[in-house]
Chain A
Amino acid sequence: MWDGVTLQQLLLITDGCSNAGTDPVYAAQAGRARGIATSVIGILDDGALGEQGRREAENIAEAGGGMCRIVRIADLSRTMQMVTQQTMQLTLQQVVNKELRHLVGQEANALPPDTRTKVARFVDTVTEEADVQIGLVVDMSASMTTKMTAVREAIRDLELGLAARTGSHQLFVITYPGLHGEDAVVHSLESSRVADAIGAMRAAGNTPTGPALDAAIRALLASRDQRLAMRGDGVDAGSEGLLKNHVG
C-alpha cells in the first residue's frame, strides 16, 4: 500500500543570511503547500550566521514544516543524517496524525503508550521502505569556502546512510549562487557522485537563498510529475485513506 509513496524534502545548508531575491520563508511555505518539507542546518563556525541568520533559519524550517539545527561544522555529518531521518518521520507522522484525528479523534501522542508503540512501528517501517527524494540546497557564498571539504564528506556520508535503506533514494543538489550570475544551479548527478562534484566546486558571490529554494522545489515537483506520469497513478504522501487498514 505504501509502495510508490515518495517522500520529498529539502535540506538547506547555510552559514549566513539571505541577501538577494525572494524571501526564503515564503519559498519554504510554498513548498510545504505542495508536500515538500524544508529543513535547515545552520553552520556556526566563523560564518555570518549571527542572531539574524539563526532566526531566519528557524523561520524557514517552521514555515517549511521541517526541523532546524544550528551546529558546528564538525557535527554536520551526524546532523544531516538525523535531520533527514527525522524529517521523513515528521512528514509521515503528520499524515498519520491527520488520519488518527479522523478515525479516533486523537493524535498519536495522546494515545495510550502501547497503542503509540504500534503507530511508531508503522511509521518506522514506512520510513525504511518509502522512496525518498532529497534536495540538498547548498550555500556556496564566499564564507563557505573553508567548509566545503566537510560538506563534501557529510554528503557522502548521507548517501551511505540512504543507500542502506530498503526504499530507493535520489539526491538533487542545488548550489547557490551560480558562477555566472545565476541565482542557483540545479545539478543532475548520480547520487554516488554528488559528494565529489560538490567538493570540486568553487564558492563565490552573494546569498540568494529564496530563489535557490524556489529552484529546488521546481526540480522536485518536475521529478514527481515525471514519476507519476510513468506510473500512471497519483499516490503521494499527502493522500488520504492510506492508514485505515493499519491502525485500529
Chain B
Amino acid sequence: MSVSRRLPALLELRPGTVLPGKWCGHTYRIVRFVGRGANGAVYQALRDRSVVAIKIGDNAAAVALEYGRMRELTTSLGASGIIPELYEQDDVEHGGELYPALVMEFVRGVSPEAFIDLRGRAWIPLCLTKLLRLLEALHAKGYAFCDLKSANLLFDPDTGEPRLIDFGGLTPIGQAVREFTELYDRAWWGRGTRKADCRYDLFACAMLGLQLMAPIDQADMERLRTRRPVERDAFLNRCILSDGSSWRLRAANNREGNATAAIFRDGQRQLQAVLSKALKDQYRDPAEFRMALAVLLVHDREETRGTMKHTGETAKTAVGDGVGLRPRGRRRAWDATDWGLLVAVTIFAATMGALLWLGSL
C-alpha cells in the first residue's frame, strides 16, 4: 500500500465515511464537504467526539510542507487564534489507498461578503483593520500569507473577528509566491513583483476592501486575462478613482438601515482614497495602512453618533477593536437579570417603606 500521489478526481467522501488514520491512532468520520483549498479538499469531520476540519491532500509533499509551516507558527504564536489550532498530520486510508491528511480546528464563521451584508458597508474599514492585525502578526514571524482572498477568510458573525483558514499559500518573506489568485495578485495587475513580502498581503487586503465595496465584474476579469498588465493597471485605476457613481455597489441588504447607508455614502470617498493608495503600493507596511483606516473609523463614529440622535436608535458600539457587536437598530431584549433586578429593587423599597412605617408608629 503506498501513498497515492494524486487524489483521483472522482474521490468524493460521503458523509458518514470513516477514515482510519495510519500514524496517530485516530479515526475520522466525515460530516460534510466544506470546500477545496490550495492543497486538497477540506471536510468537516468527527475525530473521536470532537468536530475537526480535515484536509485530504492530493500531494503528500505539499501537505507535509503546509503542516511544517503551521507547526512552526503555532510554536511561535501560541494559541492566539491567528492560525487554526493544529492537531496532526496523518495518512488516512480509503478504498485500499492512503491519502495525506491535515487535521485542524474547524473554524466557524461567515464569509466576508455575508458579514458585510449582515452589518452594512460601514463595517469595511473595521474588518480590514482587524485583518491587518492578523497579517502583521504573521509578518512579524517572517511569513507572508500570500493567498489572501475572500474564500480564505471567515468572520465570526457575533464578535466580528476575522479568522484566516487556508495556510497553503503561507510563504517565507523573500521567496516567490506559490499560491495566488489573479484578482488579488499585485503582479497580475502590473503593480509589483510576485515575491512574498508584507506589501504583497497589503495589496490583497486592499483588493478585498474593494471587492466588498464594489466587486470587479467576472466578465471584466475574463476580458483582462488576454490584456497586458499595463491595461489591467489602467482598468484598476478607473475602478478605484471613479467618483463612485459608476460603481456597481454591492446590493444594500434590507438589514442595512437607511441611516447606515447614509453614513457610508459620506465615508465612501475617504475609504476609496485609502484603498487607492494601498492598491498603488503607497503604504510602507500594514501598520501605516491601518493608521489610515483608523482615521476613517473615528470619522465614522462621529457620523454615527449624529445620526443616532435623530433616529433614536440604541447607540452602537461598533468602532474600536474587540468591542462586542450587537445587531443595530434594535433594543436589547428584557431578560431574566433585568426582571430579577426589578423584583429586588421593589422588595427593597417595600421593606424600607414598611420599616419606616413601623418606626413611625
Which single member of B193, B226, B228, B229 contacts A164 (CB below 8 Å)? B193
Q: Which of A28-36, A104-112, A181-189 lies on the face that meets chain B? A: A104-112
- Judge whether B141 is part of the interface by a CB distance below 8 angstroms: no
Task: Take A77-B225, A156-B229, A164-B195 as given contacts and tell me if A117 and B68 are in contact as well, using a CB distance cutoff of 8 Å.
Answer: yes
- Judge whether B178 is part of the interface by a CB distance below 8 angstroms: yes
Judge whether A128 and B176 touch: CB under 8 Å.
yes
Complex Cα distance, B326 from A212, in Å, reads 66
Judge whether B2 and A113 touch: CB under 8 Å.
no
Min CB distance A44 to B, Å, is 15
Inter-chain contacts of A161 with B (CB < 8 A): 176-177, 187, 194
**Minimum CB distance partner of A124 in chain B:** B65
**Minimum CB distance partner of B90 in chain A:** A113
Inter-chain contacts of B175 with A (CB < 8 A): 128, 164-166
Inter-chain contacts of A150 with B (CB < 8 A): 225-226
Which single member of A108, A123, A156, A165 contacts B176 (CB below 8 Å)? A165
- Judge whether B23 is part of the interface by a CB distance below 8 angstroms: yes
Judge whether A113 and B89 touch: CB under 8 Å.
yes
- Judge whether A119 is part of the interface by a CB distance below 8 angstroms: yes
Inter-chain contacts of B61 with A (CB < 8 A): 89, 93, 108, 116, 119-120, 123-124
Inter-chain contacts of A244 with B (CB < 8 A): none
Interface members, chain A 65-80 (any B CB < 8 Å) = 74, 77-78
Judge whether B225 and A113 touch: CB under 8 Å.
no
Judge whether B222 and A74 touch: CB under 8 Å.
yes
Judge whether A117 and B176 touch: CB under 8 Å.
no
Complex Cα distance, B188 from A190, in Å, reads 20
Interface of B is mostly: mixed
Inter-chain contacts of B88 with A (CB < 8 A): 113
Interface members, chain B 25-81 (any A CB < 8 Å) = 59-62, 64-65, 67-68, 71
Min CB distance B28 to A, Å, is 15
Min CB distance B325 to A, Å, is 37
- Judge whether B321 is part of the interface by a CB distance below 8 angstroms: no
Judge whether A153 and B228 touch: CB under 8 Å.
yes
- Judge whether A163 is part of the interface by a CB distance below 8 angstroms: yes
Complex Cα distance, B23 from A119, in Å, reads 18
Judge whether B225 and A153 touch: CB under 8 Å.
yes
Min CB distance B189 to A, Å, is 11
Which single member of B60, B100, B227 contacts A153 (CB below 8 Å)? B227
Interface members, chain A 113-172 (any B CB < 8 Å) = 113-114, 116-121, 123-124, 128, 149-150, 152-153, 156-157, 160-166
Complex Cα distance, B89 from A162, in Å, reads 30
Complex Cα distance, B62 from A85, in Å, reads 12
**Minimum CB distance partner of A167 in chain B:** B176
Min CB distance A133 to B, Å, is 17
Inter-chain contacts of B302 with A (CB < 8 A): none
Most chain B CB within 10 A, of A114, A152, A160, A166, is at A160
Min CB distance A156 to B, Å, is 7
Judge whether A117 and B89 touch: CB under 8 Å.
yes
Inter-chain contacts of B229 with A (CB < 8 A): 156
- Judge whether B288 is part of the interface by a CB distance below 8 angstroms: no
Which single member of B5, B64, B195 contacts A120 (CB below 8 Å)? B64
Judge whether B23 and A116 touch: CB under 8 Å.
no
Min CB distance B193 to A, Å, is 5
Task: Take A117-B68, A150-B225 as given contacts and tell me if A109 and B2 are in contact as well, using a CB distance cutoff of 8 Å.
Answer: yes
**Minimum CB distance partner of A154 in chain B:** B225
Task: Take A77-B182, A113-B23, A120-B64 as given contacts and tell me if A164 and B225 are in contact as well, using a CB distance cutoff of 8 Å.
Answer: no
**With A113-B64, A117-B64, A165-B176 already in contact, 14 other A-B pairs whose C-beta atoms are closer than 8 Å:** A85-B178, A108-B61, A110-B3, A112-B23, A116-B61, A116-B64, A117-B71, A117-B89, A119-B64, A120-B62, A120-B64, A120-B65, A149-B226, A156-B228
18 intermolecular pairs with C-beta atoms under 8 Å apart: A109-B100, A110-B3, A113-B23, A113-B88, A117-B67, A120-B60, A120-B61, A120-B68, A121-B65, A123-B61, A124-B61, A153-B226, A153-B228, A160-B193, A164-B175, A164-B177, A164-B193, A164-B194
